Chains A and B, each alone.
Chain A
């Protein structure tokens, strides 16, 4: 499980630029970042996975908190999370394969969202492992194209998700 930092920023190219610029400039080793909308259309949430063996998440956070465009940094490191990934998978599918693909989709609680003359699009949602596995099974038919959201996450339960006091627990 990566250690997630959930970073809420203004939804603008400029803010994204500032965040990425900072991470690059400081050579902070972070994993693949996903971007999500929130309940507020003005906001964008970046989910930044950090490996504590490589970098102290507090340092990443303290640096991010220096940016004016960063509205909040939540440290989701220890929290129970719901994590979901969504993929659209375009599969080459002659009519005779449809039933089999539909059964496979059923198994993954995926849906067929488009039917073309030679291809189908399957929509699958779930943990990254489940999505990986579904795509792997579809390979047999010939996967033409995949697009994925990357992980989206939310803290389980209610109330605990408020931003942690900034840097309250600085150094041990």
Chain B
């Protein structure tokens, strides 16, 4: 087997002047990708995309990572994008190759992740006639991309590629797709190869908020008694973490983040309330619901945060800062809307801000914090999942890892029991909740950040959805640490069945294979952990393995539940801290 390593090729910067060249379209596409600074592409080849793969041979500065399923390719592209802020790129063939992207595109759309998908298509003269491996990729992906392009003529190809990159990162980031028919890819033409700067989007930008509106926001802050900063993923896209901190400190305002916002405000800061929402902390949920002013920054009032919308934070005015005008008044009416990039808006707002008197508010919050810390009880026999996760955190925190989380209970426990301090270190599927996201996302993150420790916290169910990404990680010798929080259940679903469906467990038990041996079989290291005292040594051992991925299969208490929990569609007064026990403000 040919083994490729992370350091195999250095990206050689070459001067990218405006140039006229005669070449086949596939080569012009590669030129455009080089000009966009693409260093790695995740994909699988096939008939319709053969010309692209042929051209790839002439561009050794771009690494191609062969995946075992296109869903892995796009989640890798997402992981790369989330870790670096640069768009991730994937290649597929037509038909099944392209349709395998749909889940990942939807995931990227929901979580505002910039990715560019390049798909092969059947030749134009076959299109519309049910040709072999034809799928209406433009139609299929219209609702899950910001825009998609079908390239019918060679000259349109470089422009479509460049525009796909512009749009993926413009404003609210998201996925784009370029569909390239095989005959177009093979056609030779005269191309004008441009600098990416030459392409701009023909779209008006909303004007920056005027002084009067900014003052209104500053006045609301000054007049508030119980303000709270509700910080979301938009702050991470914007790079506005320092401004959030400056605002919080200047005005002495507590900060809670969404799942997508974890890392946007350091949770070791005294003003941090950690995550809010369905499985957020009791104190964050009380604080936002009893607040009189919500400053929402890059957060979209998702139902996992608000619960029953009509009862959510009933006494609060809202300052809503978001780059997407369509988010304003979508779920919650804004008293002051500031449309634009969070960093720029906060910078303009900061000098106008006058600190409100929050003494009494802070006493209240400290009381909630003291009464309702996050907790679990670890005994001698079974491993509590929270304990395992906390150990992973404690033993890796000094390495400042990038952590990918899958979907389910383990995701929520990791959100709760890690102390998130840095943007782009928590990478998870929030909006779509795509099981199987995290392992390929870890691979993508490691390609984007070869300098950082990458950890994957996975569920036993989720791990089996995209296990094959491990094979790619082995091939590239990526030293990713995979921790499977193995409760032998689709735990989150089991929890709902226990709590809301009278314990009638239906299709949630997982008859699992031995994950450690599965890992060994594909060339990764495998460690199985069954007792509490084995957890720490196993994690330490995993951290010493640096020439290949390692899977640590941690068997945990199968029926542990994730609390706090505000049941779907309910209010903060229904917040459970144990089965049948509600938190009292």
Identify the A interface with B (CB < 8 A): 14, 17-18, 21-22, 25, 56, 58-59, 62-63, 65-68, 165-168, 170-171
Contacts and interface: CB of A to CB of B under 8 A. Distances in A.
A56 to B, nearest CB: 6
B167 interface: yes
A25 B328 contact: no
Contacts of B324: 62, 66
**Which of B138, B204, B205, B326: most chain A Cβ within 10 A?**
B326
Contact of B206 (A18, A25, A59, A166): A166
Contact of B328 (A14, A18, A170): A170
B537 interface: no
Interface stretch (B334-342, B441-449, B471-479): B334-342
Nearest to A72: B204
A67 B147 contact: yes
Interface in B128-185: 138-139, 142-143, 146-147, 167
A70 B416 CA distance: 43
Contact of B326 (A25, A66, A68, A168): A66
B570 to A, nearest CB: 24
Contact of B320 (A59, A66, A67, A171): A171
5 contacts: A17-B142, A66-B326, A170-B339, A171-B328, A171-B335
Interface of B: 138-139, 142-143, 146-147, 167, 201-207, 320, 324-326, 328-330, 333-337, 339
A27 B336 CA distance: 26
Nearest to A63: B326
Contacts of A170: 206, 325, 328, 337, 339
Nearest to A163: B204
A138 B438 CA distance: 67
B207 A165 contact: yes
Contacts of B142: 17-18, 21
Contacts of B167: 68
Contacts of B329: 56, 58-59, 171
A59 B143 contact: no
A21 B138 CA distance: 12
A171 B334 contact: yes
Nearest to A25: B143
Given A170-B206, A171-B334, A21 B143 contact: yes
Given A62-B328, A171-B328, A68 B206 contact: no
Contacts, number: 56
A134 B329 CA distance: 43
A23 B54 CA distance: 40
Contacts of A68: 147, 167, 201-203
**Which of A58, A65, A68, A166: most chain B Cβ within 10 A?**
A68
**Which of A14, A63, A67, A167: most chain B Cβ within 10 A?**
A167
Contacts of B333: 171
Contacts of B207: 165, 168
A59 B330 contact: yes
Contacts of A168: 206-207
A153 B195 CA distance: 43
Nearest first, the 6 A-B pairs at minimum CB distance are: A171-B337, A62-B326, A62-B325, A167-B325, A167-B206, A166-B204
Contacts of B204: 65, 166
Contacts of B202: 68
Nearest to B172: A66
A166 B339 CA distance: 12
Nearest to A171: B337
A127 to B, nearest CB: 33
Contacts of B138: 14
Contact of A59 (B146, B203, B326, B336): B326
Given A62-B326, A167-B339, A168-B206, 19 more contacts: A18-B142, A56-B329, A58-B329, A59-B326, A59-B328, A62-B324, A63-B326, A65-B203, A68-B147, A165-B207, A166-B204, A168-B207, A170-B206, A170-B337, A171-B328, A171-B333, A171-B334, A171-B335, A171-B336
A59 to B, nearest CB: 6
B222 to A, nearest CB: 20
B180 to A, nearest CB: 17
Nearest to B334: A171
Contacts of A167: 206, 325, 339
Nearest to B335: A171
A28 to B, nearest CB: 10
A123 B275 CA distance: 65
Nearest to A70: B203
Contacts of B139: 17
A18 B138 CA distance: 10
**Which of A17, A25, A62, A65: most chain B Cβ within 10 A?**
A62
Contacts of B201: 68
A166 B202 CA distance: 13
B147 A65 contact: no
Nearest to A22: B143
Contacts of A62: 324-326, 328
**Which of A17, A59, A67, A170: most chain B Cβ within 10 A?**
A170
Contacts of B146: 66
Contacts of B328: 58-59, 62, 170-171
A165 B325 CA distance: 13
A65 B325 contact: yes
Nearest to B320: A171
A63 B328 CA distance: 11
A131 to B, nearest CB: 35
Contacts of A67: 147
Contacts of A21: 142-143
Contacts of B205: 166
A168 B340 CA distance: 12
Nearest to B204: A166
B170 to A, nearest CB: 10
B232 to A, nearest CB: 18
A71 to B, nearest CB: 8
A170 B326 CA distance: 9
A166 B337 CA distance: 15
A67 to B, nearest CB: 7
Contacts of B320: 171
Contacts of A166: 204-206, 325
Nearest to B143: A25
B579 to A, nearest CB: 36
A82 B271 CA distance: 58
B296 to A, nearest CB: 12
B150 to A, nearest CB: 8
**Which of B143, B201, B205, B320: most chain A Cβ within 10 A?**
B143
Contacts of A165: 207
